[in-house]
Structure 1
Amino acid sequence: MILLISDLHLQEERPDLTRAFLRFLNEKAAHATALYILGDFFEAWIGDDGMTPYQEGIARALKQLSDRGTRIYFMHGNRDFLIGKAFCRIAGCELLPDPSRVVLNGTPVVLMHGDSLCTRDIGYMRLRRWLRNPIVLWILTHLPLQTRRKLARKLRSESKEQTKMKSSAIVDVTPEEIPPLLDRLNASILIHGHTHRPAIHELTLAGGRSAKRIVLGDWERQGWALECDENGELALEAFDIEPVG
Structure 2
Amino acid sequence: MKIYFASDQHFGAPTPELSFPREQKFIQWLDIVKQDADAIFLLGDLFDFWFEYKTVVPKGFIRVLGKLAEIKDSGIPIYFFVGNHDLWMGDYFQKELNIPVYHDNQEFTFNDKTFLIGHGDGKGPGDMGYKRMKKVFTNPFSKWLFRWLHPDIGVKLAQYLSVKNKLISGAEDVKYLGEDNEWLVQYCKRKLETKEYNFFVFGHRHLPLEIELTENSKYVNLGDWIGYFTYGVFDGEKLELKEFKN
TM-score, L = length of structure 2 = 0.84
**Deviation for aligned residue 1:16:** 1.3
The answer to whether structure 1 residue 173 and structure 2 residue 174 are counterparts is no
The answer to whether structure 1 residue 240 and structure 2 residue 245 are counterparts is yes
Q: Distance in 1 between matches of 2:86 and 2:181?
A: 19
The answer to whether structure 1 residue 201 and structure 2 residue 215 are counterparts is no
Matched residue SS, 2:60: helix
Corresponding residue of 2:143: 137
Query: 5+ residue gaps in structure 1?
Result: none
Q: Distance in 1 between matches of 2:210 and 2:52?
A: 34
The answer to whether structure 1 residue 87 and structure 2 residue 93 are counterparts is yes
CA RMSD of aligned residues (A): 2.6
Corresponding residue of 1:2: 3
Identical positions, percent: 25
Corresponding residue of 1:189: 199
**Deviation for aligned residue 1:166:** 6.5
Query: Which amino acid in 1 is paired with 2:146?
Result: L
Instruction: Assess if the C-alpha contact under 8 Å between 2:88 and 2:138 holds in 1.
Output: no
Q: Distance in 2 between matches of 1:16 and 1:238?
A: 17
Query: 5+ residue gaps in structure 2?
Result: none
The answer to whether structure 1 residue 19 and structure 2 residue 29 are counterparts is no
Corresponding residue of 2:38: 33
The 3 A distance-change label for structure 1 pair 99 and 71 is: same
**CA deviation digits over 1:7-46, x for unaligned, max 9?**
0112232121111111111112332011000000111112
Corresponding residue of 2:115: 109
Matched residue SS, 1:93: coil
Aligned length: 236
Q: Distance in 2 between matches of 1:138 and 1:172?
A: 34
The 3 A distance-change label for structure 1 pair 174 and 57 is: closer
**Deviation for aligned residue 1:165:** 6.3
**Deviation for aligned residue 1:221:** 2.9
Alignment of 1:60-79 (within 5 A): 60-79=66-85
The 3 A distance-change label for structure 1 pair 114 and 166 is: closer
The 3 A distance-change label for structure 1 pair 224 and 50 is: farther
Q: Choose from 92, 116, 126 the match for 1:120.
A: 126
The 3 A distance-change label for structure 1 pair 150 and 25 is: same
Q: Which structure is higher in helix share?
A: 1
